[in-house]
Amino acid sequence: MADKTTVKGLKRNIKGSSGSAKLDTSEVIFKVIAYFFVSIFALMCLYPLVYALSASISAGADVLAGKVLLFPIGFQIDAISAVIHNKLFWISYSNTFFVTLYGTVYCMGLSILGAYALSKKRLAGHSLFNFLLIFTMWFSAGVIPMHLNYQATREILNGMGIVDQKWLIVLAMGMSAYNIILLRNAFESVPKEIEEAATVDGANDFQIMSKIYVPMSKATVATVGLFYGISRWNGYFWAMKEVNNANDLPLQVIIQTQIADMQEQLAENGASLINGTYAAQSLIYAMIIFAIVPILIIYPFIQKYFAAGVNLGGVKE
């Protein structure tokens, strides 16, 4: 009897293994196709970076002739050397670090406070405030209100005796509705029993937020911090429009100005080499390489939180 039972069990295992083998085959096919398209997409994203690096160190004549497609042709480091010895470039580089660091901290502070308040249904006007927040995603205020906001912030800073225009870029734009919604949804997923236990122990709202909600939502907090940091690092439009002191301009404005000057020079005088060794395009690409290095260094450390943070904050339970 035991032998018959064993035989039946083996038959069931064989059938189950054959079924899983078919499933494994379909999974393999799916993964091969998925990895193929993901690899193509990754190469498309990687190509501009490789091309920028190659163009920055290739010989100027080959860059102007359009011979550089992927790998460097010829070799020169004069363009990189020119960037390294450009004092204004490094001043703008430090300005960008200043705006990114303080701007990210400022935005995260406001966003966490706002998201925590909006996650509480006991907040008076809870539904109205959430609707108004989402409404700003549907209908943008436009350029003129933003300009007036910067002007009002400038007047406040001038009244306080702050003439450093980097603070204007930091303070005039504080939050993103999308990021607040991500944080709010993450906070709403925290079990209410933990908050109730903390309340019984005498914790106030600020302690509950800082010691429970933020640590338990660290994936979303890290993701939103990355969003704010990249936005601050890449931002140039309002700095270009509102900052009139060259020593307070961020890096991206300097790069944009260099590109505009290069295009104007090409239109007037045609393509030419700088100091007989490198093209103006190589100088621009060298600046771009220097500009993206900090993001490439920081991103791998935050990447592990990225998918989890967006999924957690993007789904309301």
Q: Are residues 299 and 199 in the same domain?
A: yes
Return the residue matching tokens 């122990």.
201
Q: Are residues 116 and 264 in the same domain?
A: yes
Nearby residues of 292 by Cβ (< 8 Å), 6 or more positions away: 49
Residues 35 and 159 placed together within one structural domain of the fold? no
The residue type found at 135 is F
pLDDT value for 266: 78
Q: Quick one: 204 and 302 in the same domain?
A: yes
pLDDT tens digit string along 178-216? 999 999 999 998 888 998 999 998 999 999 999 999 999
Specify the 3-state DSSP secondary structure of 17. Answer: helix
Rounded Cα distance between 229 and 189, Å, is 25
pLDDT digits (tens, 9 = 90+) for 248-288: 999 999 999 888 888 888 777 777 777 778 888 899 999 99
In whole angstroms, what is the distance from residue 223 CA to residue 312 CA?
A: 10
Distance (Å, rounded) from C-alpha 135 to C-alpha 81? 49
Indicate whether 227 pLDDT > 60: yes
Residues 41 and 141 in one domain: no
DSSP at 209: I
Query: What angle in degrees, to the nearest 10, is found between the helix axes of 251-269 and 87-118?
Result: 130
Verify that 50 and 166 share a domain, yes or no: no
Q: Is residue 218 part of a domain?
A: yes
Q: Find the length of the chain.
A: 317
Residue 145 belongs to some domain of the structure: yes
Greater pLDDT, 17 or 163: 163
pLDDT attached to residue 142: 80
Nearest-CA neighbor of 236 among 280, 286, 287, 279?
287
CA 280, CA 83: separation in Å to the nearest integer?
Answer: 12
Among left, alpha and beta (phi > 0; psi -120 to 50; other), residue 249 is: beta
User: Does residue 34 sit in the same domain as residue 170?
Assistant: no
CA angle 79, 49, 247 (to 5 degrees): 55
**What residue ranges in the chain does DSSP mark as E strands?**
273-274, 278-279
Do 108 and 180 fall into the same domain? Answer: yes
73 found inside a domain: no
Same domain, 53 and 146: no
Q: What is the pLDDT of residue 145?
A: 86
Domain count, the chain: 2
DSSP tag of 71: S
Q: What angle do CA 228, 232, 237 make, to 5 degrees?
A: 130
pLDDT at 208: 93
Report yes or no on 65 lying in a domain: no
258 & 305 share domain: yes
Which range, of 14-18, 39-43, 141-145, 234-238, averages the lowest pLDDT?
14-18
Indicate the pLDDT class of residue 7, thresholds 50, 70 and 90. very low
Average pLDDT over residues 56-76: 88
Domain boundary among 27, 57, 87: 57
Whether the per-residue pLDDT at 164 is higher than 80: the answer is: yes
Biggest CA-to-CA distance, the chain: 97
Does 217 fall in a domain? yes
First CA to last CA distance, the chain? 52
- The answer to whether residue 63 sits within a structural domain is no
Express the helix, strand and coil content of the chain in percent, nearest 5 each. Answer: 80, 0, 20
In-domain check, residue 71: no
Cβ–Cβ under 8 Å, residues 133 and 180? yes
DSSP-assigned states of every residue in 143-197: HHHHHHHHHHHHHHHHHTT---THHHHHHH----HHHHHHHHHHHHTS-HHHHHH
Determine the average pLDDT of the residues in 141-156. 88
Whether residue 243 has pLDDT greater than 60: yes
Same domain, 109 and 8: no
Residues 153 and 258 in one domain: yes
Amino acid letter, residue 70: L
**Res 310: pLDDT:** 55
Domain containing residue 306: CATH number: 1.10.3720.10
Confidence of residue 17 (pLDDT cuts 50, 70, 90): very low
Its domain, for residue 197, covers: 79-314
**pLDDT of the residue at 114:** 93
Is residue 66 in some structural domain? Answer: no
